Structure 1
Amino acid sequence: MRFLLSLVSHVISAAAALLIANWILPQVTLRVSGFVVAVVVFAVAQSVLGPFIFNLARQYASAVLGGIGLVSTLVALWVATLFPDGLTITGLGWALAPLVVWIATALGGWILMGLVFKRTLQKHDQGKKGAS
């Protein structure tokens, strides 16, 4: 249950983050026709690349561990732009979009998991204890 809620939280926060970046950064374009693909590709890429990049940095460049979230967000955004008719980033957007998307996904995940899904998880855990 926790994994499923985490997955839902990640996809929702990724969608919101990409919409926010599209809204506030003129260099970021998110097309309606490719919205779902862009969100899914970004969310999967960030989920897979985040731990991989963290392990690489921990092993070879521990001084940059604090910026790993930004680096994995940048790489995930780049991967999402490889799929046509979804996400396009140009110019200064490559510097600003990772920051905007990273902040939005972090806040979105915290809000969804910490505030919204917390009750669901508590009810689920109590149901498990009651059934034992």
Structure 2
Amino acid sequence: MIRFLIRAGIWLVSAFLGLVIADLLLPGFSLHWNNWWGVVLAVVIFAVLQSVLAPWIMKVATRRAPAFVGGIGLVSTFIALLIAVIIPAAGIGIDGPVAWIVGTLVVWLVTALATWLLPGIFLKDTIQQKKS
């Protein structure tokens, strides 16, 4: 149960990092910081959707379009961002095609790196126990 909570925390932190870095780098990508609850909601919505959509899209693509399997992370990131932007209470806005395309790439890259690197930091003891 604790490992599940740590993994969920890692998903949330990686989603937060991805959205914040995209907000800092891209002019058309914005988190509405004046409404902190909306930013939290956007992070949670994005993280949950990303974690649910990625395996589902992978399953569909594997059956129907195996050539697209490599882009599953980008597709699920785009869809999760789209849904998060559509929800009015979420504190995220994306304006313009460049912000959508580059924002999807930035958020995907940061979340992928964070979900790869953060377990080594937070689960270091567990990893060392499994090695020995």
TM-score normalised according to structure 2 size: 0.87
- 1:104 partner amino acid: V
Q: What stretches of structure 2 of length at least 5 have no aligned partner?
A: none
RMSD of aligned Cα (Å)? 1.5
Q: Which residue of 2 aligns with 1:118?
A: 123
Structure 2 residue aligned with 1:73: 77
Distance, in Å, in 2 between the alignment partners of 1:66 and 1:11 is 23
Counterpart CA distance in 2 for 1:113 and 1:18 is 19
Q: Distance between the aligned counterparts of 2:125 and 2:77, measured in 1?
A: 28
User: Is it true that 1:100 corresponds to 2:106 in the alignment?
Assistant: yes
1:4 aligns with 2:24: no
User: How many residues get paired?
Assistant: 124
Please state how far the C-alpha of 1:2 moved relative to its aligned partner: 2.2
SS in 1 for 2:40: helix
Separation in 2 of the partners of 1:105 and 1:81? Answer: 18
Question: Are 2:46 and 1:42 equivalent residues in the alignment?
Answer: yes
For 2:106, give the aligned amino acid: V
Deviation at 1:121, TM superposition (A): 2.4
Percent of aligned pairs with the same amino acid: 44
Answering whether residue 52 of structure 2 is matched by residue 51 of structure 1, we say no
Measure the CA separation in 2 of the matches of 1:51 and 1:89: 25
Q: Which TM-score applies when normalising by structure 1?
A: 0.87
- Letter matched to residue 117 of structure 1: F
Q: Which structure has the greater CA radius of gyration?
A: 1
Tell me, yes or no, if the aligned pair for 1:2 and 1:121 is still in contact at 8 Å. no
Q: Which residue matches 2:21?
A: 20
Q: Distance in 2 between matches of 1:109 and 1:119?
A: 14
Runs of 4+ in structure 1 off by over 6 angstroms are none
> For residue 60 of structure 1, what is the aligned residue in structure 2?
64
Aligned pair 1:109/2:115, yes or no? Answer: yes
Summarize deviations over 1:82-103 as a string: whole Å, max 9, x none. 1225111111111111100010
